Structure 1
Amino acid sequence: MARVLIAGCGDIGCMLGNSLGAKGHEVFGLRRDISKISAPINPIAGDLFNLNTAIPQNLDYAFYIVSAASYKDFEYYQAYVLGLKNLIKALNGQSINRLFFISSTSVFGQSDGEWVTEESPSEGKNFSSNRILEGEALALNGPFPATVVRFGGIYGPGRTHLIDSVISGKAHCMEDVYSNRIHSEDCAAMLEHLMNLENPESLYIGVDNLPTLTCEVYDWLAEQLSVPDLEHKEPTENTRLLRSNKRLSNQKIRSTGYEFKYPTYQEGYAAILETLN
């Protein structure tokens, strides 16, 4: 059994930790507010941005699952660079089998609806993607073997912004714009799967099986919720430049044997809607 540290143990980290702990692994969850961490995860109160907390020794794996508190350069620097630097320094001297760094598919700059794989070029087109890529480089060039996982749009329990906007009638969608998403339970399960692989590669995309036109998702949700049809807008040239529009391939993670619990948005959102009824 492995000793595992989850740095930034939020909802996905807790799902991952609970699953690993139930299988007999010894799991430590690090975050500032440990009130939401429960057994089998061992809580560690600590601030990754000012890390003065003792880190457990003889760890086998470390997961870094941190996101920015707001859309500001300093917040992205703290979340994706400073916190990781502090963690790597705190792990100095340990023989970590692998560090997993949770990234974002926003670093892919493609915007013409093309297919994107792990081999596609990334692009630091703004401060947020620049900071995320800086963190990826820090992880991959650090002292431990590392794997970067770029997740698409994460939804799930507690992440119901799209459902709420459809219900309120505030949602509108751009025609001919693709979106990519992954259920939070699949995020956690995919990370566990990668930890159990003998030799995972350095980069994986984490999205479900079906890149989908945004309007199709909105219209489907409106139908399920029995609300009026949503407004469709034709994207202007400016909005096309600003919006992400790409189809992300998950073939690489599926080729390792991972099977998605929620292979498309319909299964994932249907499970959430059941809990709202």
Structure 2
Amino acid sequence: MSEKRIFIFGAGYSGQAFARANRDAATTVRGTTRSAEKFDALRQAGIAPLLFDGALTDEIGDALGKTTHLVISIAPEEAGDPVLNAARAAIARMPALEWIGYLSTVGVYGDHGGAWVDETAQCRPVSKRSVMRVTAEQGWLRLGREIGRPAAVLRLSGIYGPGRNALVNLENGTARRLVKPGQVFNRIHCDDIACALWYLIGSNKGGIFNVTDDEPAPPQDVVAYAAALMGVTPPPEIPFEAAQLSPMARSFYGENKRVANATLKAAGYRFRFPDYRAAFDHMWASGDWRDGAPRSPMKR
């Protein structure tokens, strides 16, 4: 296996899960964060940390010169994609670069009235943040074409995993069961994001891929399933119209679609957690649902 030198712009929750899944001692992972206070967390995940606040530093430039696989996990801003803005010219000159991966969102599809969508569906984003995502996707795909490198856009559904899930919300008292008739969401466990990235890197595959589970489901069903695992009473159902929500949270409910993952499966990837039940069963049984460290089941 050839040595891979991976650089992650924006080594947050998904980026750290990706690095923890590294099984090749010869593969090195570098990644950026905005705060030096997060360096320890990155190191614990197996990432050599660097600071990036929107400006290309000499240290980042040196690292890019050795990088074979580039992963971007930073959201676009009003002024555009911060990585393209700061480092486009440097990326175009990277001598060892083999592949680019951009982590996007299924939010680019917008609202499809609950219908199934795949990668060929029209993007009609509703929120401003999703409009900016579409522009960023196009920018990365265009750069890949211009420099003759495969660029993969991974459109992620609702991300969950250790420390971010309905079990945690039930334990800390923040879980709610909002009910909007007909509303469904897809989800994706962070381990499947990590493994899908490694799979695409291993084959240097480019293109657009929905990285999402098999089962779009009403959000209240997920909370009820987590409560059953814990042996606790689920919170009462709240009609969506009566719920107090932030504008961003409310905007999520303005988009209803079922997202298909057949393209990624056809490329050869097999999901570790094809639905939320498989993932929650694993997290509860292993005890890693809080923060990744196995623990005894919650005292009741």
TM-score, normalised with respect to structure 1? 0.84
Within a 5 Å distance, the mapping from 1:1-277 to structure 2 comes to 1-20=3-22, 22-32=24-34, 33=36, 34-38=39-43, 41=46, 43-54=48-59, 55=61, 56=63, 57-67=65-75, 76-77=77-78, 81-95=81-95, 96-142=97-143, 143=147, 144-160=149-165, 162-166=166-170, 168=173, 170-198=176-204, 200-225=205-230, 226-228=232-234, 230-231=236-237, 233=239, 243-274=254-285, 275=287, 277=297
User: Structure 1 residues 77, 216: CA separation in 2 closer, same or farther (over 3 Å shift)?
Assistant: same
Instruction: Please give the secondary structure, in 2, of the residue aligned with 1:147.
Output: strand
8 Å Cα contact 1:46/1:53 also seen in 2: no
Deviation at 1:30, TM superposition (A): 2.3
Q: Decide whether the 8 Å contact of 2:158 with 2:188 is kept in 1.
A: yes
Cα distance in 2 between the residues matched to 1:107 and 1:245: 12
What whole-Å deviation, never above 9, does each CA across 1:67-112 have from its counterpart, x for those lacking one?
4xxxxxxx7337x612333232332411421110100001111331
**2:66 partner SS:** coil
Contact 1:4–1:28 (CA<8 Å) still a contact in 2?
Answer: yes
Q: Give 3-state SS (helix, strand or coil) of 2:8's partner.
A: strand
Tell me how far 1:271 sits from its aligned partner. 2.6
Q: Does the 8 Å CA contact 1:222/1:230 hold for their aligned counterparts?
A: no
**CA distance in 2: counterparts of 1:201 and 1:178, whole angstroms:** 29
Determine the C-alpha separation between the residues in 1 that align with 2:261 and 2:220.
22
Whole-angstrom distance in 1 between the partners of 2:12 and 2:240: 37
Amino acid corresponding to residue 63 of structure 1 in structure 2:
V
CA distance in 2, matches of 1:113, 1:40: 37
What do residues 163-198 of structure 1 show as CA deviations (whole Å, max 9, x unaligned)? 344453643222221110000011111100011125
Q: In structure 1, what is the Cα distance between the partners aligned to 2:235 and 2:32? A: 44
Provide TM-score, normalisation by structure 2: 0.78
1:122-148, Cα deviation, whole Å (9 max, x unpaired): 123231111111211110111443111
Residues 239-273 of structure 1: per-residue CA shift (max 9 Å, x gap) = 89952211110111111221111111011122333
TM-align CA RMSD = 2.7
Distance of 2:50 and 2:240 partners within structure 1? 48
Structure 2: distance between partners of 1:240 and 1:112:
14
Q: Choose 245-254 or 122-131, whichever is displaced more.
A: 122-131
Give the % identical residues: 21
> Which consecutive unaligned segments of at least 5 residues does structure 2 have?
243-249, 291-296
Shift of 1:229: 5.5
Contact map agreement 1:45 1:53 (CA 8 A) in 2? no
> Alpha carbons of 1:250 and 1:23: their partners in 2 closer, same or farther (altered >3 Å)?
farther
One-letter amino acid of the counterpart of residue 269, structure 1: F
Deviations 1:178-219 (A, max 9, x none): 110000011111100011125x23100010121223332232
Looking at structure 2, the residues matched to 183 and 40 of structure 1 have their Cα atoms a distance apart, in angstroms, of 17
Shift of 1:23: 4.5
